[in-house]
């Protein structure tokens, strides 16, 4: 969609179907085997010419989104402009549907979306490699927001290998009241694992097979998140949400990334609708959303 000479980019949220976390590195980050799957909840970022770098945001969580230069969308515009020696002046409007601070990479989606939108608006024609480099500078999850589909992220999650997906998966996401800070959750992981031998993170062959063959039951058996214990320790009430979802028919339940959103894998679209209704009335979450995967990465919408 173009609004008065603007460019709009649609970007998906993610769920981590496997998040294997290694020991803390000297730089404070953790090496990961991070199997990302893009899901059909989207933010849209519109870039339009302006006299200064400004941001607006609409959506149910808009009041929780910073509108200053700390917004990942603003940082994306600034990094891209600096690299090309052009002015970063642009208006960025974010239509936000991805829960904020929910472990679904909403801010990362806006960073990737702003990057692609500004690149098109300013006619820069950056290569995929250049865009991915800037994404990695913005944050560990940002490269995947650009790429979408499914991918294995290694290093701190920014080095991506795209993965084949052989079918559609159906999900319900229970959105919690309030967010969780990603660094705090990693810090809690460090506290809980202090003194323990932490193996090098590796992707599960069974999980990669389940994705490749589109086998929902096999995927349900292989879902794993090493940050789940940390998220539950910081937010014990999430245990009740996970139980409510499995009691109401989910094949599997887990915390999405650093949480506090919880993810439920179900067998089909109808079960997803029933489960979302059951979770909403369970009183264990703020709201529940259905989604499918894989979803396409950052995409410029037609005018
Ligand atoms: C939990 C996940 O969402 C799973 O995909 C990501 O690992 C987090 O990615 P992100 O939000 O893009 O995180 P970044 O902005 O890169 O880092 C925020 C903070 O999270 C912690 N962090 C992040 C990624 C990583 N591999 N190890 C870490 O320890 C660090 O404390 C870091 O300062
Ligand atoms: N465009 C943005 N949208 C939302 N939050 C943003 C944005 N830019 C910066 N932030 C800041 O980042 C924090 C984390 O927001 P975000 O929604 O990205 O969390 P998240 O989904 O848990 O991230 P991840 O799953 O990548 O760890 C917010 O609390 C907010 O202060």
Q: Is 108 annotated for ligand binding?
A: yes
Report pLDDT for 190.
98
Report pLDDT for 188.
98
Q: Spell out the residues 6+ positions from residue 295 whose beta carbon is closer than 8 angstroms to its own.
A: 12, 38, 39, 40, 42, 148, 149
For residue 279, being part of any structural domain is answered with yes
Tell me which ligand sits closest to the C-alpha of residue 23.
1
Clarify whether residues 152 and 281 are in a common domain: no
Report pLDDT for 1.
44
For residue 298, being part of any structural domain is answered with no
Q: Spell out the residues 6+ positions from residue 175 whose beta carbon is closer than 8 angstroms to its own.
A: 99, 102, 261, 285, 286, 287, 288, 289
Clarify whether residues 80 and 58 are in a common domain: yes
**What's the domain range around 225?**
169-293
What's the CA-to-centroid distance between 24 and ligand 1, angstroms? Answer: 11
Clarify whether residues 11 and 159 are in a common domain: yes
Atom of ligand 1 nearest to the CA of 153: 5
Phi and psi of 113, rounded to 5°? Answer: -65, -45
For residue 303, being part of any structural domain is answered with no
Q: Read off the pLDDT band of 5 (50, 70, 90).
A: confident
Instruction: Kindly indicate whether the ipTM for this predicted assembly is greater than 0.95, answering yes or no.
Output: yes
Tell me whether residue 14 is one of the annotated catalytic residues.
yes
Atom of ligand 1 nearest to the CA of 157: 26
Q: Spell out the residues 6+ positions from residue 234 whose beta carbon is closer than 8 angstroms to its own.
A: 180, 184, 185, 188, 259
DSSP 103: S
For residue 2, being part of any structural domain is answered with no
Clarify whether residues 176 and 234 are in a common domain: yes
When the pLDDT of each residue in the chain is averaged and rounded to a whole number, the result is 97
Tell me which ligand sits closest to the C-alpha of residue 19.
1
Clarify whether residues 116 and 22 are in a common domain: yes
Token duo for residue 229 = 């214990």
- Please say which residue of 163, 184, 212 terminates a domain: 163
Q: Which of 11, 19, 98, 101 to mutate to test the pocket of ligand 2 (most atoms within 8 A of CB)?
A: 101
303 pLDDT above the threshold of 90: no
What's the CA-to-centroid distance between 27 and ligand 2, angstroms? Answer: 21
The answer to pTM > 0.95 is yes
Structural domain count, the chain: 2
Q: Which ranges of the chain does DSSP label H, i.e. alpha helix? A: 72-84, 106-121, 128-138, 142-147, 182-192, 205-213, 216-222, 228-234, 238-247, 269-282
For residue 302, being part of any structural domain is answered with no
Q: Which of 15, 47, 106, 142 to mutate to test the pocket of ligand 2 (most atoms within 8 A of CB)?
A: 106
Q: How far apart are CA 166 and CA 151, in angstroms?
A: 13
Q: Is 102 annotated for ligand binding?
A: yes
Clarify whether residues 116 and 227 are in a common domain: no
For residue 1, being part of any structural domain is answered with no
- pLDDT by residue (tens digit) across 120-140? 999 999 999 999 999 999 999
Q: What is the mean pLDDT of residues 285-293?
A: 97
Angle at the Cα of 189 (from 258 to 207), degrees rounded to 5? 60
Q: Read off the pLDDT band of 204 (50, 70, 90).
A: very high
The CATH number assigned to the domain holding 11 equals 3.30.230.10
């Amino acid at each position: 969609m173009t609004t008065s000479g603007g460019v709009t980019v649609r970007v998906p949220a993610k769920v981590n179907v496997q998040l294997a976390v290694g020991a803390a590195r000297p730089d404070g980050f953790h090496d990961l085997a991070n199997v990302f799957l893009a899901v059909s909840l989207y933010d849209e970022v519109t870039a339009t010419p302006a006299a200064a770098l400004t941001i607006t945001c609409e959506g149910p969580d808009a009041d929780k989104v910073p509108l200053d230069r700390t917004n990942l969308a603003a940082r994306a515009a600034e990094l891209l402009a600096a690299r090309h020696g052009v002015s970063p002046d642009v208006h960025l409007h974010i239509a936000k549907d991805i829960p904020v601070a929910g472990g679904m990479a909403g801010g990362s989606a806006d960073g990737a979306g702003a990057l692609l939108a500004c690149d098109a608006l300013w006619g820069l024609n950056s290569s995929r490699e250049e865009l991915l480099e800037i994404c990695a500078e913005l944050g560990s999850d940002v490269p995947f927001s650009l790429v979408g589909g499914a991918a294995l992220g290694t290093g701190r999650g920014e080095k991506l290998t795209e993965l084949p997906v052989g079918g559609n998966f159906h999900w319900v996401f229970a959105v919690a009241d309030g967010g969780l800070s990603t660094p705090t959750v990693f810090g809690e992981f460090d506290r809980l694992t202090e003194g323990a031998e932490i193996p090098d993170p590796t992707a599960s062959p069974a999980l990669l097979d389940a994705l490749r063959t589109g086998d929902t039951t096999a995927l349900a058996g292989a879902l794993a998140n090493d940050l789940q214990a940390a998220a539950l320790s910081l937010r014990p009430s999430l245990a009740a949400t996970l139980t409510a979802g499995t009691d109401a028919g989910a094949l599997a339940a887990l915390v999405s990334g650093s949480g506090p959103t919880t993810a439920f894998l179900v067998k089909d679209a109808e079960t997803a609708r029933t489960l979302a209704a059951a979770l909403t009335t369970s009183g264990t979450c703020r709201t529940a959303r259905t989604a499918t995967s894989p979803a396409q990465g950052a995409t410029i919408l037609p005018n």
